Chains A and B, each alone.
Chain A
Amino acid sequence: MTTDQTSAVQMTNDHKVGAQRKPTLAVWKFASCDGCQLTLLNCEDELLSIAGAVDIAYFPEATRAVAEGPYDVSLVEGSITTPHDAERIREVRAMSGTLVTIGACATAGGIQALRNLTDVYEFRSIVYAHPEYVQTLDRSTPIAAHVDVDLELRGCPIDKGQLLETLAALLAGRKPRIPTYSVCVECKKRNNVCVAVAHGTPCLGPVTQAGCGALCPSFSRGCYGCFGPQDSANLPAMTDRLRAQGMREPEVVRLYRTFNTGAEAFRAESARVATHPAAAHPAASTQTTRGSAEEAPA
């Protein structure tokens, strides 16, 4: 239900820099860990600029002062997991000009979307003495499954630079530069050595959307896919490579089922591998890698 990014830009055209009234900013929390909101608070060097550019009208994590809506820009963290939240997000949408979802929970359902794969009511009866008092939905869903979203910022947590870029773009009435290509682009821009090729480390970078600045590979770790699938992710081909690097099917499934387990490309591929663990990727089963030996000796 994500609308085109240009509509987000148009909505702020009447309060560009220099206009009399500062745009108002609200920050909302749904099912989440608060880490993405903390990313905003962690903008220490830029907080004064932010406070100078916008009126922070509603941000319970930071201040008890509350200004009445409607709000020009709403940042929404978290997924929808309760009937109450499914109602509340509609109210937030109604009182927001531009609605930006922030983080893996808000954009893909988060780690709590693991419940989508099993019976949440059974969990509830095991965990709580009186499960009848706990109202919960059987699925964790992204905000865009409930209301129109103008822009999504991926990540677990989101990237501070992308958040600042988004705010700056909304203030200037321009399109935010949020690339949808792979993490590999960021590795190469940083002159990182490819951990998959040079170290044999399984890495989800090729199928994961950029935005983190290739954080994990910069520390010689494989990418965990925090930013969800890139725009052209070829998951079956990724699975083939993870297998070639020695990963077994349960490990592959587990790798796809983390913070973005609910993102469609990851969800579909993890389901495929889990259902048919022995069946190779349709194309891979009929051909071998051309050229010489697959892996050179270490």
Chain B
Amino acid sequence: MTKPGNVARTVMLDGLQELIDALLGRGYTVFGPTVVDGVIDYRPITSVTQLPQGWGDVQDNASYRLRRRDDDAVFAFACGAQSAKPVLFPADELLWRARLGGAEPEIERAVDDKPAPPYAFLGLRSCDLAAIGIHDRVLSSRQFGDTHYALRREDTLIVAVTCTDPAGTCFCVSMDTGPVPRSGFDLAVTELYADGPHRFVVEAGTPRGEELLDQVASTAASDEDLVAAERVGAEAAARMGRVLDGTNLKDLLYDNTESPVWDDVASRCLRCTNCTLVCPTCFCTSITDASDLTGTTAERHRVWDSCFSEEYSYIHGGAVRESGRSRYRQWMTHKLAAWHDQFGSSGCVGCGRCITWCPAAIDITAEVAELRRLAEQRQRPQEARP
């Protein structure tokens, strides 16, 4: 796992606390995994005791359950309920506020209620790391960047972890994004809890990460630890709960816009928007303006939007995509096909959240498989009829 030239050290649980302390000491708000209301999700933390020690998860279509592990692992769960998106790209972003005091309105750069930046993430998965890479490309590398995202992102420090116990809805191997973090991190942690003492192999990916690692009690990672770290990553890769067959996927979607699959999935789809809101790469937003009762204060907000809502495609005269069929097709075709043309990669990182958190139990990997099966059946009518 460790890249040649990267510093790799072995750290104990106490060292992880020293890492958190070092981050807090540098002014970071540290988002780490913690048990919240029956799930593991990222929240501001200050102590290793807040990590989900001894907790794992069971994820399947429309179902998420915590489970007690028979070890003391702190990172042995699959992806959290949400990714880094709600932190780096908030659901409701106050863009500016204007006040009418004197003759001219004063426009102020809004101070919102979000936790104070800079942010550090502890325990982010490689799927979510890949999603941040996509957001960087979509939101801040193009001609008209998203200033709020770029500012928040610029100072963000990332401590990634190797996923050691993927869930039933995971398919990062299919999307080539995991389960081992390869780039985009300051530090990458691999937790070793199966044999020997409970320990963490930590690799520095940036000078900033290396400098941070120097503040933590550690020993040079032994060859055995490096081998063990590589092994747990490889073992996790072999335990993906789902597969998404990417063969000619773009063409498959572009060529099958009239497939009966869309009608079938639309009959089950609730148009609730959950898939897009938990997707770590979905970035559609709407701009809303509001004024108060006295007419002296106005605010402009950027809020999450979803291609599954009717208002999303509303233009003069009505909504362009009125049917559930057209909305699901739009979402999946953009995510898995048009994204390549637009941004040079797939829009899916294989985190499986859209499967777990779809209350209607719709599975994107199964829909792709069905689309492919029907397309192939149509191409080979002889074979399809026994």
CA–CA, A101 and B59, complex, Å: 43
Q: Is the CB of B290 within 8 A of A177?
A: yes
User: Does A99 count as interface, using CB distance less than 8 angstroms?
Assistant: no
Closest to A50 in B: B293
Residues in A230-263 with C-beta less than 8 Å from chain B: 230-234, 236-238, 240-241, 244
User: Does A46 count as interface, using CB distance less than 8 angstroms?
Assistant: yes
Q: Is the CB of B361 within 8 A of A294?
A: yes
A293 contacts across to B, CB distance below 8 A: 60-61
User: Does A283 count as interface, using CB distance less than 8 angstroms?
Assistant: yes
**Given A177-B290, A196-B359, A291-B365, are A185 and B60 also a contact pair (CB < 8 Å)?**
no
B61 contacts across to A, CB distance below 8 A: 289, 291-294
User: Does B65 count as interface, using CB distance less than 8 angstroms?
Assistant: yes
Q: Is the CB of B295 within 8 A of A181?
A: no
CA–CA, A232 and B271, complex, Å: 6
Q: How far is the CB of A12 from chain B (nearest CB, A)?
A: 12
Residues in B37-83 with C-beta less than 8 Å from chain A: 37-39, 41, 58-65, 81-82
CA–CA, A153 and B241, complex, Å: 44
Q: Is the CB of A193 within 8 A of B268?
A: no
**Given A193-B38, A203-B359, A287-B264, are A168 and B310 also a contact pair (CB < 8 Å)?**
no
Closest to B168 in A: A292
Closest to B62 in A: A197
Over the window 178-200 of chain A, the binary record of Cβ atoms lying under 8 Å from chain B Cβ atoms (1 yes, 0 no) is: 01111011001101111011111
Q: Is the CB of B360 within 8 A of A197?
A: no
CA–CA, A238 and B86, complex, Å: 27
CA–CA, A49 and B297, complex, Å: 13
Q: Is the CB of A174 within 8 A of B268?
A: no
CA–CA, A182 and B306, complex, Å: 11
Over the window 303-337 of chain B, the binary record of Cβ atoms lying under 8 Å from chain A Cβ atoms (1 yes, 0 no) is: 11010111100000000000010010000000000
CA–CA, A238 and B310, complex, Å: 18
Which of A198, A234, A298 is the one whose CB lies under 8 Å from B37? Answer: A198
- Tally of chain B residues near chain A (CB < 8 A): 61
Q: Is the CB of A198 within 8 A of B273?
A: no
Q: Is the CB of B267 within 8 A of A184?
A: no
Q: Is the CB of A296 within 8 A of B268?
A: no
Q: How far is the CB of A190 from chain B (nearest CB, A)?
A: 8
Q: How far is the CB of A145 from chain B (nearest CB, A)?
A: 23
Which of A16, A207, A244, A298 is the one whose CB lies under 8 Å from B295? Answer: A16
User: Does A165 count as interface, using CB distance less than 8 angstroms?
Assistant: yes
Which of A49, A185, A207, A284 is the one whose CB lies under 8 Å from B273? Answer: A185
A-B contact pairs, 27 of them (CB 8 A): A50-B293, A164-B293, A168-B291, A168-B292, A174-B291, A177-B290, A179-B311, A181-B309, A184-B272, A185-B277, A188-B277, A193-B39, A193-B41, A193-B81, A197-B64, A198-B38, A198-B64, A198-B81, A231-B309, A234-B271, A241-B270, A241-B360, A290-B369, A292-B61, A294-B63, A295-B62, A296-B65
**Chain A residues proximal to chain B, CB less than 8 Å:** 16-18, 46, 49-50, 52-53, 164-165, 167-169, 171-172, 174, 177, 179-182, 184-185, 188-189, 191-194, 196-200, 203, 205-207, 220, 230-234, 236-238, 240-241, 244, 281-284, 287, 289-298
